């Protein structure tokens, strides 16, 4: 099977620790599909701005979700260039010096200009966003009303210019390392808690399939010391 490589541009080239740059598009998809929140950065009237938003990957584009009342997203909808970051922290790397201590991570930064998703395409995009967060929930509840759709903004950003960087493994080799000092990795995992029912929920209502799917898909349960 041929691996599709991400193109390298002036903005996506990694300069520090360049060996950690990953060009495999499948790794990009894995990072995006496993996250829940993206951070959108842009410059508005000369001031740097940053906004966390819900998102979903839809093929080779990123869907960004927000309110039409959000000023930053209106600026994005108006054609402002943006950078969008999704990051997973997989572990804390305990080295035998503070300088060499680090994190294991997977990160993707997407550059470009987003367009507004409108018409019937917007409903399809909203369903993709819903399925990314709560798989199958769209079919369990009522559809959005015209008023709710009017208050919702969906933006599509092509995955054409992306920088992916990954760190794995333990501490790097150190000179004069002291084996009496513990070194290694503390893995980090997200985990789910027990579902909390709404106050007015009848006690005989079973857990929906979408909740079970979300637990399996996004944050598999683990145990910790």
Structure token digits, residue 126: 């909203």
Q: Whole-angstrom Cα distance, residue 82 to residue 102?
A: 28
- Residue 58 scores a pLDDT above 60: yes
Give the tens place of pLDDT for each residue, 182-223: 999 999 988 888 999 999 999 999 999 999 999 988 765 544
Domain span holding position 23: 18-172+179-192+202-217
Q: How many domains does the chain have?
A: 1
4 belongs to a structural domain:
no
CA dihedral 131, 136, 137, 138 (to 10 degrees): 80
Q: Assess if residue 1 is contained within a domain.
A: no
In CATH, what number is assigned to the domain containing residue 104?
Answer: 2.30.110.10
pTM of the model: 0.90
Phi-psi region of 86 (alpha: psi -120 to 50; beta: other; left: phi over 0): beta
Q: Are 135 and 213 in contact (CB under 8 A)?
A: yes
Percent of the chain with pLDDT over 90: 74
Greater model confidence, 193 or 159:
159
11: in domain: no
Q: What pLDDT, on the 0 to 100 scale, is given for residue 225? A: 44
Q: With contact defined as beta carbons under 8 Å apart, do 109 and 62 qualify?
A: no
């Amino acid at each position: 099977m041929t691996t599709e490589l991400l193109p390298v541009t002036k903005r996506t080239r990694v300069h520090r620790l360049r060996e950690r740059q990953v060009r495999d598009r499948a790794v990009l998809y894995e990072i995006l599909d496993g996250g829940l929140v993206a951070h959108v950065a842009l410059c508005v009237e000369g001031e740097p701005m940053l906004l966390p938003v819900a998102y979903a990957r839809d093929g080779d584009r990123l869907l960004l979700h927000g309110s039409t009342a959000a000023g930053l997203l209106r600026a994005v909808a108006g054609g402002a260039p943006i950078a969008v970051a999704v990051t997973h922290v997989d572990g804390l790397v305990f080295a035998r010096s503070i300088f060499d201590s680090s994190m294991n991570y997977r990160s993707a930064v997407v550059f470009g200009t987003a367009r507004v998703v409108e018409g019937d395409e917007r409903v399809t995009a909203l369903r993709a966003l819903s399925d990314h967060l709560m798989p199958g929930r769209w079919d369990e509840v009522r559809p959005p009303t015209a008023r709710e759709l009017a208050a919702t903004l969906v933006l599509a950003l092509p995955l054409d210019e992306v920088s992916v960087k990954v760190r794995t493994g333990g501490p790097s080799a150190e000179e004069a390392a002291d084996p009496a000092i513990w070194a290694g990795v503390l893995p980090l995992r997200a985990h789910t808690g027990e579902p909390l029912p709404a106050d007015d929920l009848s006690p005989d209502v079973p857990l929906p399939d979408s909740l079970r799917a979300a637990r399996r898909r996004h944050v598999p349960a683990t145990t910790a010391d």
